[in-house]
Structure 1
Amino acid sequence: MKTATKINQGKTYAMDALAFDLKRLTKSDRTGSRQTQADRARMAQAMAQDLKNSGFRLPSAKSLKPKHIERLVRDWQKQGISTGVLKNRMSTLRWWAKSINKASVVHRTNDAYGIERRSTSDVNKGQRLNLDKVAKLPCARMQLAVRMAAAFGLRIEEALKFQPRLADKGDKIALKPSWTKGGRYREIPVLTDRHRALLNEVRDTVGDASLIPDEKTYIEHRKAFEYQTLKAGMTNLHGLRHNYAQWRYKALTGLRCPKDGGEATKRLSAADKQADRDARLTIAEELGHSRLDVTKAYLG
């Protein structure tokens, strides 16, 4: 059996054949952002350990079978793992299966494993930008990152890694795959004078760099950013993406979305239903999602 020695906080232990093989697979796959790659590698190693703890000794990653997946899911559910985390782990399992040309060993839907769908609550999670709270952040880069997230519906990672020299195309911004979740290149239109002024301010502040200070790594600055935003009373930055989606929906359709007090889709006229669908497709792309149904969480 292949083994490798791993050192962790002064302790040494053997990495078994499966963990060694999964490490090789994750290192060879550069799709997605660095954070996505790191998360994938971490989850794959945790799965190898979980299988080992359950008594399975897989000689390689190619040995994955349906019984292994079913055991992993059953054990995770017993541990009370949240639905969101379960879905992330299932994505990594599907990546693993696809990487070894055995995609069929994992069911195509999570329903088959009894993983419930996330609730699409009627509660509006949209949050408007609070400039008083933004002003409490200790540096211009942090303040601009929050404002960029609000103005363009960016994830925080995307906002922090944003480089105007590479992304600002005049009438749109173009996000590099290495900045985005899932490594999806995407474009977002620059629609207002306020957007243009913000991009100019970012460029004036960072020049050819990003919103991460030169002396810090992304991880270091992300941790400092999260601490400072919480300290400033910002507890739901993802709500800025919800607000962007709802603003875009109204701009595209002339209507308020259901989450913002508008009519349910089923009550719309035929013409408005078509406008609703077209708007959702546009918004899904701008937010970096590949599925239309994801917009229900933002728009209702």
Structure 2
Amino acid sequence: MSWASRTSGKGKTMKPLSVQALEWIGKDWSVGSKTREGHLQHTKDFANHVSQRFAMEDIQNLKPKHVESYVQHMKDEKLDNGTMCNRMAAVRTLVNAIGKGNIVARDNKAYGIARGSRQKPIIADQSRVDGIRQVLADRANARDRVAMMCHAAAELREAFGLRPQESLLSSKLVETPKGIALRVEGAKGGRPRDLRIGNESQLRAVQIVAQVSQALGSGTARIIPPEMSLGQAYNAQRTLWRELGGTKNSAANMHVSRHTTAQVMNAQGYSKGEIMAWLGHGEDRSPFCYIPR
């Protein structure tokens, strides 16, 4: 069924369900997410399924049965578990945006979907990582603007185990019942999280972020130079880190600090759930993609 708009029973012209869905996540989603295009398409797929299967007119009328129907549809299409998990992440983004997050189970296992580990634990070459951090610090002291940004981002990743994009976008401090925390932004699916500042390296990292933001003239308190877009900043960070020897093959890529963070937390006795929540995983996934068995 193809249409630009339709009239509801009350005489009100309704936009297509997929258009409504995209408008909602546009209001409630971090525009910087590297998975944005995939989420957009997955959101449209879900909305189109609900529209065609149930003739729904208003996306705010979503119910658990619509999610369950979509899950069954994906299984009938014989999609692999990884693809289904990605699509369910888009569904969660949408239902959270419309204020109905409770209609989707938190764990994909409730739908008979379990994602296999997409990565293996990495034991960081910490001396190489520290060497790259020192080069960035030296270049930052020489007022190289890209190096200043990359230096601050690297310290955040090292101290908090952030994703590369999160390390560029996170700068805000908030008060929580447990103390001052860094509000992490730019996560997959747009889910912000607050990480309590609990040690000297974390305190030092947020101080560096504040200093770099001010030095670069950022009007947003972030460490991205005002003359650069997020995409330009992300690419510049990735390129510079690789040029300095930070690659996956050298066990020193930008993602390795997440593995180190998980491994340290595990050694300190944190639970699996606490580790994965700290790293920003919305599903109850196993931490053994980060921690050697």
Give TM class, smaller chain.
Answer: 0.5 to 0.7
Give the structure with the larger helix fraction. 1
Shift of 1:297: 3.4
Q: Which has the higher relative contact order, 1 or 2, with Cα contacts under 8 A spaced 6 or more apart? A: 2
Matches within 5 A, 1:150-229: 150-163=158-171, 166-167=172-173, 174-176=181-183, 178-181=185-188, 182-192=190-200, 194-207=201-214, 209-229=221-241
The number of aligned residues is: 251
Q: Distance in 1 between matches of 2:69 and 2:287?
A: 34
Q: Distance in 1 between matches of 2:204 and 2:89?
A: 39
Shift of 1:48: 4.9
Does structure 1 residue 125 correspond to structure 2 residue 137? no
Residue among 74, 87, 90 paired with 1:89? 87
Does structure 1 residue 242 correspond to structure 2 residue 259? yes
- SS of corresponding position for 1:237: coil
Shift of 1:247: 2.2
Q: Distance in 2 between matches of 1:94 and 1:152?
A: 25
Preserved CA contact (<8 Å) 1:148 1:154: yes
Residue among 133, 149, 165 paired with 1:141? 149
Q: Percent identity?
A: 19
Structure 1 counterpart of 2:87, one-letter code: R
- SS of corresponding position for 1:187: strand
In the superposition, the TM-score normalised over structure 2's length comes to 0.63
Structure 2 counterpart of 1:72, one-letter code: M
Q: Distance in 2 between matches of 1:203 and 1:100?
A: 33
- SS of corresponding position for 1:117: coil
Per the alignment, residue 3 of structure 1 pairs with: 4
Could you say if the C-alpha distance between residues 91 and 183 of structure 1 is closer, same or farther in structure 2, counting changes exceeding 3 Å?
closer
Preserved CA contact (<8 Å) 2:170 2:185: no
Preserved CA contact (<8 Å) 1:152 1:188: no
Could you say if the C-alpha distance between residues 201 and 116 of structure 1 is closer, same or farther in structure 2, counting changes exceeding 3 Å?
closer
Per the alignment, residue 278 of structure 2 pairs with: 286
Q: Distance in 1 between matches of 2:22 and 2:272?
A: 38
Q: Deviations over 1:245-289 (max 9, x none)?
A: 222343x3xxxxxxxxxxxxxxxxxxxxxxx3x555554453345
Per the alignment, residue 25 of structure 2 pairs with: 26
Residue among 255, 274, 295 paired with 2:287? 295
Q: Distance in 2 between matches of 1:183 and 1:101?
A: 15
Q: Distance in 2 between matches of 1:150 and 1:172?
A: 20
Q: Distance in 2 between matches of 1:110 and 1:248?
A: 25
Q: Distance in 2 between matches of 1:76 and 1:222?
A: 35
Q: Deviations over 1:36-81 (max 9, x none)?
A: 69564443124456x59xx86955345884544423344361xxx5
Shift of 1:89: 0.7
Structure 1: 5+ residue stretches without partners: 5-15, 253-275
Shift of 1:145: 0.9
In the superposition, the TM-score normalised over structure 1's length comes to 0.62
Could you say if the C-alpha distance between residues 42 and 172 of structure 1 is closer, same or farther in structure 2, counting changes exceeding 3 Å?
farther
Q: Distance in 2 between matches of 1:196 and 1:85?
A: 38
